[in-house]
Structure 1
C-alpha cells in the first residue's frame, strides 16, 4: 500500500484563448476532482496498487463530491471532514493554443491538516508527500511527523517540490527536509531552483547529493534519472498538448505504483512517461 498525504481540491478548469478584457471571452468550463495528493492517489489506484489518501475537506457539496469520486477511483480515504472550513478549490486557466495552465488556488480545509490527522503510515510500503503541505506551518508539522514515522520503519519516502512560487520562500528549509527522503521528483524549473544549476545533467547530479533516487522531469523532452549509478535519459512521445494539468501527478502516481511492484527504476519511469504523455492530450488530471 502507498500512503499519500496532501491536498484534495475541486478543479475548475477554464479553457480559453486570448481574454477580451472587461467583456465576454468564449471558452469551456469543467469541474473535476483534483488536488496534487488526490490525483497521485488516483493514479496509484488506477495502476492496480492500493492507495490510501490522508487529507482534509470541508463539510460542503464539494467535499462530498471529492470523497465520492475518490472512492469510485478505488482510493482508500482517510480524509477528515472539517466543518470550520470550505473544501479547497482551484481555478485553472488553460491556454487553448499551448495547453499550458495558470492556477489560482484556494486551499481551504487543506490548510488545517494537522498531526492528529496522520494515522497508519507504518502500514505503508511507500509514503508520498506533496510539497504543498510543506509550505504552511500546521501542514508542515503533519508531514514532518509522517516522514519521521516512515523513516523509523524503513519505509521509502517520495516527495514532489510542487511549486516554484512557494519553494522560493522557504528553499533552505525545504532542502533540510530532504534528509531521509528516497525519491525526489521535481520538474526542470524546480530542479534549477533547488540546485542553482541550469544543465539538466548537472541538476540531477546535484540532486543525487541530496537524495538517493532523484528523477528530473523535462516535460516534452522526457526525463532523466540514475540506474545503477548511470545517468539515463528517456524521451517522451510526441503528442499534442491540450491541457498539462495533472501531468506531473500522473507521472508520480504511475511511477510509484510501478516501483512498488517491480523495484525497477527504468520500468517505473517508462510507465510514468507513457501515462503522463497521454494525460496532456485531454482536459483534466484524472485517470481515463
Structure 2
C-alpha cells in the first residue's frame, strides 16, 4: 500500500517541510505491473503474498477489479502487508521508502507450489521487492521452461552474482539503477552504453534503460537504439516505469517485436505520469491505442 505525500519540495537532511496532502493508494511494483497489464487486456496472474489485514484485502480486490488472477497471492496470517512511503514534489519527481512486509515471505518454497502456473505462462515478469534468491530461482526455472524473462531491477541491489542475470531476456533499469547494478557512474550516453554492455556480459540478452523525458535506450549484442518519447506535463512519475514494463510485456505477448513493444510501453508511461498515484494512474487500452 502506497502512502503518498505531496509537498512543495523534497526535504533536505535535517529539514522539516509542510506537506500538502497524504493519500493511501494501492501499489507495489509487481502489483502495479500486474494491474497495468490487466487494464491493457493482458492475460495476467500474480504470485505474491499479503498480510491478513485491511491493506492486503484491498490490494487483492483492486487487482481482481483489473482482471488479474490472484489465486496465487497468498494471505499470511500474522503478516503485515508491504508498504511504501512516497514523497512527490510539485515537479512530479518522487522519492520512495519501501517496507517489504510479507514480500519477504515470497520464498522459493512458496513459489514452488505454483510452478505449474509458471509453466502455463509465456512471459515471467519479476521485480526486486521480494528476496533476490527467489527471483533467481524463478528465473532459472523459467529459462529451463523456455519462457521469456523480464526483470525490473528495482529497488536495485549491488553485487548480485553473474549467475543471477544469466539467461534473462530483458532488464529495465533507469539510470540510477544501472549505476547501482554496475558500480560505475552513469552521467553520459556513453556511460549508459558501457553500463548496459556490462550487463550483457553478465548474461542479459537485452537492456532497456529508461531515461525519463529523454525516452529510453535499447542495448543488445546486435547494437543499440534510442527511442524518443512524447513530451507531456508530468504530475507524478511514481508508476511510470511500472506502466512501461507492463505494456512492454503485453505487447510482446501479442507478437510485437521488441521495438514495437518499447513504443507501446512509452505510450502507456506517457499517460501514467499525467495522473497521481500508482495503480490509479494506469491507462486503459483505448487510451493508448486511439
State TM-score, norm by structure 2: 0.85
- Alignment of structure 1 residues 21-170 onto 2, 5 Å: 25-77=18-70, 78-96=72-90, 98-118=91-111, 119=114, 120-133=117-130, 139-164=131-156, 167-168=157-158
Task: Give the aligned CA root-mean-square deviation in angstroms.
Answer: 2.2
Stretches of structure 2 that go unaligned for 5 or more consecutive residues are: 284-290
Bigger drift between 22-31 and 186-195 goes to: 22-31
Map Cα deviations across residues 10-62 of structure 1 (whole Å, 9 max, x no partner): 11111111489998825122211100000111111122111110110011111
Stretches of structure 1 that go unaligned for 5 or more consecutive residues are: 1-9, 134-138
Structure 2 residue matching 1:172: 3-state secondary structure: coil
Structure 1 residue matching 2:129: 3-state secondary structure: helix
Q: Is the 8 A contact 2:197 2:219 kept in 1?
A: no
State TM-score, norm by structure 1: 0.86
Rounded to whole Å, the distance in 1 between the matches of 2:27 and 2:241 is 13
Rounded to whole Å, the distance in 2 between the matches of 1:67 and 1:113 is 16
Bigger drift between 116-125 and 65-74 goes to: 116-125
Structure 1 residue matching 2:209: 3-state secondary structure: strand
Q: Is the 8 A contact 1:13 1:91 kept in 2?
A: yes
Q: Is the 8 A contact 1:204 1:224 kept in 2?
A: no
Map Cα deviations across residues 121-165 of structure 1 (whole Å, 9 max, x no partner): 1111011111222xxxxx33433332222112111111111024x
Change (3 A) 1:18 1:263: closer
1:17 aligns with 2:8: yes
Q: How many residues align?
A: 268
Residue of structure 2 equivalent to 1:172: 160
Rounded to whole Å, the distance in 2 between the matches of 1:86 and 1:126 is 29
Map Cα deviations across residues 58-77 of structure 1 (whole Å, 9 max, x no partner): 11111110011010011111
Rounded to whole Å, the distance in 2 between the matches of 1:116 and 1:249 is 26
Rounded to whole Å, the distance in 1 between the matches of 2:108 and 2:246 is 24
Q: Is the 8 A contact 2:200 2:220 kept in 1?
A: no
Rounded to whole Å, the distance in 1 between the matches of 2:94 and 2:219 is 30
Bigger drift between 38-47 and 218-227 goes to: 218-227
